[in-house]
Amino acid sequence: MPLPQTEAPGRLQAALTARGVRLTHQRRTILGVVENASQHLDAAQILRQARRLDPGIDRVTVYRTLKLLKRYGLIDELDLMHMQGEKHYYERRPQRDHIHMACLRCGNIFEFESDLFDRLKREIERDCRFHIVVSRLEVGGYCTQCRSPE
Amino acid sequence: MPLPQTEAPGRLQAALTARGVRLTHQRRTILGVVENASQHLDAAQILRQARRLDPGIDRVTVYRTLKLLKRYGLIDELDLMHMQGEKHYYERRPQRDHIHMACLRCGNIFEFESDLFDRLKREIERDCRFHIVVSRLEVGGYCTQCRSPE
DNA sequence: TTAAGTGCAAATATTTTGCTGTCAC
DNA sequence: GTGACAGCAAAATATTTGCACTTAA
């Protein structure tokens, strides 16, 4: 069953409150959808789910809220190698960055954390004297299932 | 002065020919633009430059040619952290993958090659049993110039 | 010759903006 | 009470599709 929007305030909501951002009913709903998503959602999917909880929510409000969250660095915007059109996907920014792998055959998205990735980012910061705010590593290819015969 | 389109056939053109792809006048022009670009170009910029050499070229032909090149793995499609709208940027696929760093203040794009990046990709292939076809690592942040006081 | 490619027009997809009324604090 | 926010309509941006004509091989 869909999660009630009266659920315990999530981390996103707490983070916005801490920054003194006004929390409207609509924002709470959208935050809840993003927070409790079991997969990467695009704007249209977020809108659809938010409307189940609050049918009056407008598409524009979803876009404005996503932009707000992105501006505060609370969510990451993914392209997932543009596997299905040019839409973007969103996920709450994790403690530790991870890599997204998109299977070009089955379309599944896999995630992977890696010390080497963390080291690479530190190397970039040091060698290029570049202060990293946000990073995105996406790869497209074939997963085990799709490579194996059958 | 703009490069004449009668220039020596570039690698892109050779690669398409080798694959038995038909080379039209328009394709040769677009290939030349992409090949000789000194920076990352989006579709509109490619169209503009192509039209200087052949005013009749249509926007659609540019998109179709870019899609063709992407399908054959001859160019890479970049987002450059969506610094200016949602357009895509293109570059001829290099021998060795590199990282793109986008400065959020001055908008400059920096490139960086790294052994660690190569190792990371090998690690992904091994640990995740995932065969990588294409990869993209983009970071957004602040370059030396923009971090320093003045 | 003929399958593949081009230009044109129109459509689609995604995201943004202007404005007026509403609500969180 | 008031400045920030929501909804609606419309626009802007980026890319794709259908179709009749043209061209590379």
pLDDT at A3 over 80: no
Q: Show the tokens assigned to B78.
A: 């970049």
| Closest to A108 (Cα-Cα) out of A84, A92, A87, A135 | A84
List bases, strand C, within 7 Å of protein CB. 4-10, 13-18, 23-25
pLDDT confidence tier of residue B7, bands split at 50, 70 and 90? very low
pLDDT confidence tier of residue B149, bands split at 50, 70 and 90? low
For B35-79, write each residue's pLDDT tens digit.
999 999 999 999 999 999 999 999 999 999 999 999 999 999 999
pLDDT confidence tier of residue A5, bands split at 50, 70 and 90? very low
Task: For chain B, list residues whose CB is within 8 angstroms of any CB belonging to chain A.
Answer: 77, 79, 81-82, 86, 99, 101, 103-104, 110, 112, 114, 116-117, 119-121, 123-124, 127-144, 147
pLDDT at A127 over 60: yes
For B79-124, write each residue's pLDDT tens digit.
999 999 899 999 999 999 999 999 999 999 999 999 999 999 999 9
Closest CA of chain B from A122, distance in Å: 11
Among candidates A114, A131, A143 on the partner chain, residue whose Cβ is nearest the Cβ of B141 = A131
Q: Which domains does chain A carry?
A: 1-93 (1.10.10.10), 96-150 (3.30.1490.190)
DSSP per-residue codes, B1-15: -PPPTTSPP-HHHHH
For A87-109, write each residue's pLDDT tens digit.
999 999 999 999 999 999 999 99
Contacts of residue B43, Cβ cutoff 8 Å, sequence gap at least 6:
B59, B62, B63, B66, B87, B88, B90
pTM to 2 decimals? 0.92
Round the average pLDDT of chain A to a whole number and report it: 93
Edge to edge, the sheet with strand B75-78 lists B41-42, B89-92, B75-78
